[in-house]
Structure 1
Amino acid sequence: MQQDRYGNTLSTSSAAAATAYDVGVDHILAATEGAQAAFAEAIAADEGFALAHVGAARAAMYAGDMGAIKPLMARATALADGVSEREKAHIAMFDLLFAGKPVEARAAVEAHVLDHPRDAMVAQVCTNIFGLIGFSGEPGREAALLAYTGALLPHYGDDWWMGSMHALSLTEVGQTGAALEMMEASLARNNANANGSHFKAHALYEEGRTAEGRAYLDDWMDGYAPEAVLHGHLSWHQALWALQDGDWDAMWGHYRRDIAPEASHALPINVLTDGAALLWRAEMAGAAVEAEDWRKLSAYATQYFPNPTQSFADMHAALAHAMAGEGAALAKLTEASKGYAAELVQPVARAWGAVARGDWAGAVQDLTPVMADHARLGGSKAQRDLLELTWLLCLMRSGAKQEARRAAATRRPLFAKAAPVQGFAA
């Protein structure tokens, strides 16, 4: 028997398979390119190594190769009789995840880590703002994520991955100083960790350190593979900072090269949400966005998210449809009944329709019930600034400029003095 680098026993006698498995796991945890090749190497070294097949399925998901998942998991399940109880539970949890059962998968993760807290591949499923807690749609999900990573942290010592995960949890509840300290320590141990650089960018964004953040990411991204899962999203962060600096050439360069549907290698949810958010934030800041860009995003949303199911994606799909003038597609989302926060998607979709018509007062009316707890829609604070800034714009254009300033000061002090919304600083 072999062990992984976290001390978990692996049901393989092949040292080469275990080594390749560790490499694949680290690629998953660091969001770097190479996981598929590493798990393929592990399988080649020991075809009967069940967790290598699970890892390959997870890597296929991140690569957007959804057709590869089912046969890989079928092989892992067929091998489950010869593995440990931990590995059986590991396989069973991923079966739930890939079967589209997030509630059951989350329960399985939370039960599993009580006995096996260092099973990082399982633990990872509930970390991050895009994990099963982050996309639960539950009130207080940010506190729940902090509690989850906080409980795991003592089991990982100075591990670079868990340090970066807990640092993000701290950032999302406003503890950016502690987050940055932990993130720097994590990156010192593994500077290739794209999740670490990503979460450092979030903390710098929350502190309003635009110049520093922009310089940091511009440097770190040099050498990060465009095919890697976070490349498009990190480019979105770069583009946002360029927008806030008024550097339109750089912003559009990032969009055309790395974020637009025809250019990005990211997962569909990131392509849609990053693209729609950037285009609308650029319009709010005074940029002219080509109608064709909105049409392409609307078509992309129709292709990958044709029916309401994923509330964070649905919110952005509704924006793309509204701006592209696709009324039928938008109407489907204003009546959304599926998704973890469908009751919030509906008024947001109506608000986008009102914005597209120039009905600012109507948009304010629709957004009002959403603003109290839009964290339930998912995404980070930086991503949900799409709603905060739209709220300011709609208040201003409906004649409530002082209310807009009070809203910025009380809801999002980051923008109290200088929000990237045309006319806000005048």
Structure 2
Amino acid sequence: MHHDRYDNPLSTQSAEAGQAYVEGVDHILANTFGGVEAMARAVDLDPEFALGHIGHARALMYANDMGGARAAVDRAAARSHGLSDRERSHIHIYVLLMSGKPVEARAAVHLHVRDWPRDPLVAQLNCQVFGLIGFSGCAGREAEMLAYTSALAPAYGEDWWFLSVHAQSLCENGRPDRALEVMERSLELYDGNANASHFKAHALYEMGETAAGRTYLDDWMTGYDARGLLHGHLSWHAALWALEQGDMTAFWRWYDGGIGPGTGPGSALPINVLTDAAALLWRAELAGQTIEPERWQAVSAYATERFANPGQSFADMHAALAHAMAGDGEALAKLAEASGGFAADLVRPVARGWQAVARQDWEGALHALTPVMADHARFGGSRAQRDLLELTWMLCLLRLGRKDEAKRAAATRRPVFAEAAPLAGYA
């Protein structure tokens, strides 16, 4: 009987297939390029290897091949007879996920990890800000993520993958200093872990360490394959720091090198392309830069192509921004009336807020955005990503001549911006 790196038995008679699976899992957990190829090799070596097909499905999901992922899950389900309870539960969770049942899948993950906590391709589904907890739309989801990873901690100990995701939970719950310590340990164990590099960038952002963050990320990314899943989003972090330092040459180099629609090797997921591009362009405008209309139009067109129907609320929030800035009233109106999605009740006022911002109706924008500010964490994403709402709200106050209130808002809601917010007219 062969085992994975976490001592779980694997139902394959091929040592080579088992080793390819282990390699593929590590690529998935580290967000490095090569997961699809490793998992494809595992099932080529043993076509009856059910978890190999699940691993292949997970890798294909990260490669944005959802049709291929569904087919791989179907192949795994067809081979589940006679497997262990763990493996059948593992497969069942992916069947739920691919059947469009995220609530049921999330609950099933919680049950699974009680018995088999060291099953990372299941455990990871509830981790991180884009996971099943992160995109649940539930109030208190940041605290739930920290409770979840804290409960798993005894089972993983000094594991490089687990340390990185636990560190992000700490960071998103207002403990970036402790998160940085944990992430540094993850990187000591495996410096190639793109998740740890990514979450280290978040911790440095939360601590206001612009220069240190930019230096670190610029150096680390020289060794990261541009086809890696996180290359575009890590470029987003680097571009934000370049913007804060006024280095627009570097900002546009990052944006045009793999962030904006149609740039780079095309490895980023559509949700990252849309949200990162829209957020970067708006953060640049907030900082006083002028953005060519063509850039906004490109992001708006991408949103219409990839997210035509409301339903993914984090994407919808950014799509509404792109449509408002590009002047696509029809697409924006659709989101302003959205009824689908885990946080549709927040998408609607935010869409109206972006529309008011585009008209420079600051009073209207403030009125639309204010109720959302109480719990915009329900959108999902990180604090850094949702700062486009925090900074826009502060911008409205500034434009209405309420600078003292804007500064109080920064001091109480986002202390990292209290002294120097990346917002024209704030200093």
Partner of 2:10: 10
Partner of 2:91: 91
What does 1:14-29 align with in structure 2 at a 5 Å threshold? 14-29=14-29
Partner of 1:248: 248
**Residue 13 of structure 1, CA deviation:** 1.4
**Residue 402 of structure 1, CA deviation:** 1.4
State the Cα deviation string for residues 80-103 of structure 1 (Å, max 9, x = none): 003111111101100111122110
Q: Matched residues in 2 for 1:347 and 1:296: separation?
A: 24
Uncovered stretches (5+) of structure 1, i.e. residues with no partner: none
Q: Matched residues in 1 for 2:119 and 2:187: separation?
A: 21
Partner of 1:388: 390
Q: Matched residues in 2 for 1:350 and 1:294: separation?
A: 18
What does 1:331-410 align with in structure 2 at a 5 Å threshold? 331-410=333-412
State the Cα deviation string for residues 155-179 of structure 1 (Å, max 9, x = none): 0110000001110000011111211
Root-mean-square deviation over aligned CA pairs: 0.7
**Residue 415 of structure 1, CA deviation:** 0.6
**Residue 258 of structure 1, CA deviation:** 1.4
- The amino acid across from 1:161 in the alignment is W
**Residue 209 of structure 1, CA deviation:** 0.4
Task: Report the secondary structure of 1:80's partner residue.
Answer: coil
Task: Report the secondary structure of 1:221's partner residue.
Answer: helix
State the Cα deviation string for residues 246-276 of structure 1 (Å, max 9, x = none): 1111111100111011114200000000000
**Residue 376 of structure 1, CA deviation:** 0.6
Q: Matched residues in 1 for 2:6 and 2:248: separation?
A: 45
Partner of 1:46: 46
Q: Matched residues in 1 for 2:59 and 2:82: separation?
A: 23
- The list of structure 1 runs, each at least 4 consecutive aligned residues, that deviate by more than 2 angstroms after superposition, is none
Partner of 1:165: 165
Q: 1:307 aligns with which of 306, 309, 312?
A: 309
Partner of 1:259: 259
1:109 aligns with 2:109: yes
- The amino acid across from 1:98 in the alignment is M
Structure-1-length-normalised TM-score: 0.99
**Residue 70 of structure 1, CA deviation:** 2.2
**Residue 65 of structure 1, CA deviation:** 1.4
Q: Matched residues in 2 for 1:384 and 1:199: separation?
A: 16
- The amino acid across from 2:94 in the alignment is F
1:201 aligns with 2:201: yes
Q: Matched residues in 2 for 1:411 and 1:71: separation?
A: 45
- The amino acid across from 1:74 in the alignment is D
1:35 aligns with 2:35: yes
Partner of 2:79: 79
Q: Matched residues in 2 for 1:226 and 1:358: separation?
A: 38
**Residue 392 of structure 1, CA deviation:** 0.8
Partner of 2:149: 149
Structure-2-length-normalised TM-score: 0.99
Q: Matched residues in 2 for 1:27 and 1:200: separation?
A: 19
- The amino acid across from 2:334 in the alignment is K
Uncovered stretches (5+) of structure 2, i.e. residues with no partner: none
State the Cα deviation string for residues 123-153 of structure 1 (Å, max 9, x = none): 0000011100111111111100000000001
Q: Matched residues in 2 for 1:417 and 1:334: separation?
A: 34
**Residue 223 of structure 1, CA deviation:** 2.0
**How many pairs were matched up?**
425
- The amino acid across from 1:227 in the alignment is R
- The amino acid across from 2:325 in the alignment is M
State the Cα deviation string for residues 204-245 of structure 1 (Å, max 9, x = none): 000000000000000000021111110000000000000111
- The amino acid across from 2:140 in the alignment is G
- The amino acid across from 2:374 in the alignment is A
Task: Report the secondary structure of 2:223's partner residue.
Answer: coil
- The amino acid across from 1:333 in the alignment is L
Q: Matched residues in 2 for 1:57 and 1:310: separation?
A: 21
**Residue 38 of structure 1, CA deviation:** 0.4
- The amino acid across from 1:211 in the alignment is A
Q: Matched residues in 1 for 2:72 and 2:412: separation?
A: 50
- The amino acid across from 2:423 in the alignment is V
